[in-house]
A and B are shown apart, each in its own frame.
Chain A
Amino acid sequence: MEPADKIKELINTSNAKTTTEADDRILAGAREQLERLRQKNLAAGEAGIWGIIVKSPVARLAAAAVIIIAAVIGIHQISATGIAWADVAERFRTVPFFSATIYMKEDALEEPRQLELWMGPEGRSRMRIGHQVIFGRAGQALKAFDIRKRIEVEPDIQAVELLDMLGNMEEYSLETVIRSITGGKLVDVTPLVNADAVISEDMVVFDALSNDSPEWLRVYALRESRLPIGIRIWDPRDGESVDVFISYFKDQPDLFFNAQAFANKLADPACPDTDLVHIFLNDPGGQSITAKDLLEQDSEIREGK
């Protein structure tokens, strides 16, 4: 046997075992280091909402948006007069399917960046970020596809982290977020009715303010249905902001969260890129036409057919 083949064979059949003691010795330093990091992150969380967010390696605002969504989902026992946070949260938990469109601006003059998130029962999720559509479950990114290239790809790391944050939403309960904003002390979380606009009588607005910094968080919810429909985070110093629009749907087909069904459509050259983004989603307006259909209708009108 040639030496190269012999070496290959030895490598392929080589094995080494370690005892728990050896494992502990090897990982001891690294574990201590990560524990220090965890403590540091926890301490940063006490310093303010941006403290939590900046620890994230992904875009600060995207992380902020997802933390806030998770906060609304994870809302617990914050009482208030009239409609309580808990009522809004409880109603939100019963929704089988919702989507959030998130717009993020780095400062007042920047154009916003958009990402879309759909969440369904049993922890299923789907996200569109850039040209990617990512399928997830229980906070894990399972499959990602590039719509422009029409191939399966490694998921955007930002999407991986955002889905993971949603999967660990108990870490980001509203209580945590508000405590963070207020430096450990709940300052003012009161449902307010905006008396300046008649239309707002249908709406309750939850504000969270801080004694220590000018940033604020506002959650908009419907009075009757008690469902949150919008979230805004605003930093008045430079206009950095996150706007989240939440939509609700009755039932969506299982196919919408099915990565294989999506992959099959991706392989179909007749299916336009624009259709793929929302493929299998029941139109929220209750219509069964696609973006492609609309474009075709539009061109027919223009051509006078």
Chain B
Amino acid sequence: MEDKLLVVKCKRGSTEALGRIYEKYKTDMLVLAMSLLNDTSAAEDVMHDVFLTFAENIEKFSLTGSLKSYLLTCLANRARNLNKAKHRQNIEPQQAETVSSDQDEPIGAIMCNEQLKQLSGAMAQLPYEQREIIILHFQAGMTFGTIGRSLGISANTAKSRYRYGLDKLRSVFKNEAKKWNQQIK
């Protein structure tokens, strides 16, 4: 109910309402962005683009479902485009690396806790199409049918990518556990 009113206020040009929407869904969006991109600068860029597009289209925007789902879906779409663009430019994302420590980040950047660093580091070891499905399923709560529709693939294909992704993660987590045990020894 509150979201509908916030959208109505945004339609009238209220930046306060926009700020309230941002504060409400910021963490969910950042976790999704970091899980997909494993890069704080890129996460900030896609967040910026999502809110800019939201504001640009606000006059025609009609909230039919959940605002959170809408924002997360927009973010996933933006992240996918960014990822494609990076591939086209032959600039590989920071795969297989965890996000840099807080000391290395520019002033005023996004600060991730240890769990988010671990999550985005693990997800970065998967091919993007598997990573996206796993994170949309678990974090955004989307069904394979919905994910498939938004990606233009069948629900079965989405499910297969999900399974492959989980298999890969199993070995990622095993390796991590091994490294951890060796460090303790």
Contact = CB atoms under 8 A, between A and B. Distances in A.
Query: Do chains A and B stick together as partners?
Result: yes
B91 interface: no
Given A15-B115, A22-B110, A34-B58, A154 B4 contact: yes
Contact of A17 (B1, B11, B51, B111): B111
B44 interface: yes
A10 B119 contact: yes
B22 A26 contact: yes
A27 to B, nearest CB: 6
A6 B173 CA distance: 9
B27 to A, nearest CB: 6
Interface stretch (B12-20, B77-85, B148-156): B12-20
Contacts of A14: 31, 34-35, 112-113, 115-116, 119
A25 B48 contact: yes
Interface in B116-172: 116, 118-119, 122, 134-135, 138-139, 166-167, 169-170, 172
Q: Chain B interface: which size bin?
A: 35 or more
A212 interface: no
A107 interface: no
Nearest to B51: A30
A157 interface: yes
Nearest to A171: B12
A152 B129 CA distance: 40
Interface in A5-32: 6-8, 10-11, 13-23, 25-31
B47 interface: yes
Contacts of B58: 33-34, 37
A13 to B, nearest CB: 4
Contact of A3 (B22, B30, B116, B169): B169
Interface in B1-44: 1, 4-5, 8-15, 18-19, 22, 26-27, 30-31, 34-35, 44
Contacts of B14: 34, 38
A155 interface: yes
A251 B53 CA distance: 49
Q: Which of B4, B31, B35, B134 lies at the interface centre, i.e. has the most chain A CB atoms within 10 A of its CB?
A: B4
Contact of B27 (A6, A16, A155): A16
A141 B4 CA distance: 10
B67 interface: no
Contacts of B167: 3
A140 B4 CA distance: 11
Nearest to B139: A11
B11 A57 contact: yes
A28 B48 contact: yes
A35 B14 CA distance: 8
Contacts of A142: 1
B108 A3 contact: no
A36 B13 CA distance: 8
Nearest to A32: B55
Given A11-B31, A16-B30, A31 B116 contact: no
Contacts of B172: 3
Interface of A: 1-4, 6-8, 10-11, 13-23, 25-31, 33-41, 55, 57, 140-142, 144, 154-155, 157, 160-161, 164
Interface of B: 1, 4-5, 8-15, 18-19, 22, 26-27, 30-31, 34-35, 44, 47-48, 51-52, 54-56, 58-59, 62-63, 107-113, 115-116, 118-119, 122, 134-135, 138-139, 166-167, 169-170, 172-173
6 contacts: A3-B167, A19-B107, A25-B48, A30-B54, A30-B55, A164-B9
